Chain A
Amino acid sequence: DQQVKQNSPSLSVQEGRISILNCDYTNSMFDYFLWYKKYPAEGPTFLISISSIKDKNEDGRFTVFLNKSAKHLSLHIVPSQPGDSAVYFCAASTGGSNYKLTFGKGTLLTVNP
């Protein structure tokens, strides 16, 4: 039973355009959400996070939006660059426990020059 779902295995966008990666979750106890980026042959690296008390968090070209009623979050990358090509994992955790992250399967983003 997947509690964090990334329904798009892959996404391809043109350089300079917006990339939107989506994530849905089923566990209403999740209250902290993270996005990780993973290049081949490397471990996942933290990108951006959002607490459930917010609906938006922005860091440079990266913005995460959270819609709690829909149990949905999205990562926007604007403008997209070829170096953004990687697998993006959505992850979630519950209150009081930073220790357990539940991951989605990831979305492979390809940014074409």
Chain B
Amino acid sequence: DAMVIQNPRYQVTQFGKPVTLSCSQTLNHNVMYWYQQKSSQAPKLLFHYYDKDFNNEADTPDNFQSRRPNTSFCFLDIRSPGLGDAAMYLCATSRDKRLAGGLKKRNEQFFGPGTRLTVL
């Protein structure tokens, strides 16, 4: 089945120790996203890749970086995790479809199961 896979599902790291979360997809979607969701809060977009083009949200801390080496994989790097970075991290994908006249077809995002990050 085509899907969005996130590894690991649970990650424990130490304060200040760099950590990388991974996401892969078999949907061949050209757009990939990373969201952060803290307890009882709304998922918050950190950044997204449109193909190889990286798009950072204005309020995403510099501590968060991302890499997309190919269509299928996307990584979230947290350079120096703080206690406030403990959260669920959700990866999502979508396909951008261009229609005649420059319109875009709205396509829903497909989410992975998430990685729960604990910072000790």
Q: Which residues of A contact B (CB under 8 A)?
A: 2, 4, 9, 32, 34, 36, 41-46, 49, 51, 89, 93, 96, 98-106
What 10 A-B pairs come out closest when comparing CB atoms?
A43-B111, A46-B108, A103-B42, A103-B43, A44-B111, A105-B42, A43-B113, A43-B112, A42-B113, A98-B106
Which residues of chain A are near B96, meaning CB under 8 Å?
98
A-B contact pairs, 23 of them (CB 8 A): A4-B42, A9-B40, A34-B108, A43-B112, A43-B114, A44-B43, A44-B111, A46-B109, A46-B110, A49-B106, A89-B43, A96-B104, A98-B96, A98-B104, A98-B106, A98-B107, A99-B31, A100-B48, A101-B45, A102-B42, A103-B42, A104-B42, A105-B41
Q: Is B73 an interface residue (CB 8 A)?
A: no
A101 → B minimal CB distance (Å)? 7
B67 → A minimal CB distance (Å)? 18
A19 → B minimal CB distance (Å)? 20
Which residues of chain A are near B20, meaning CB under 8 Å?
none
Q: Is B4 an interface residue (CB 8 A)?
A: yes
A108 nearest in chain B by CB position: B40
* Alpha-carbon gap, A4 to B94, bound state (A): 21
Q: Is B50 an interface residue (CB 8 A)?
A: yes
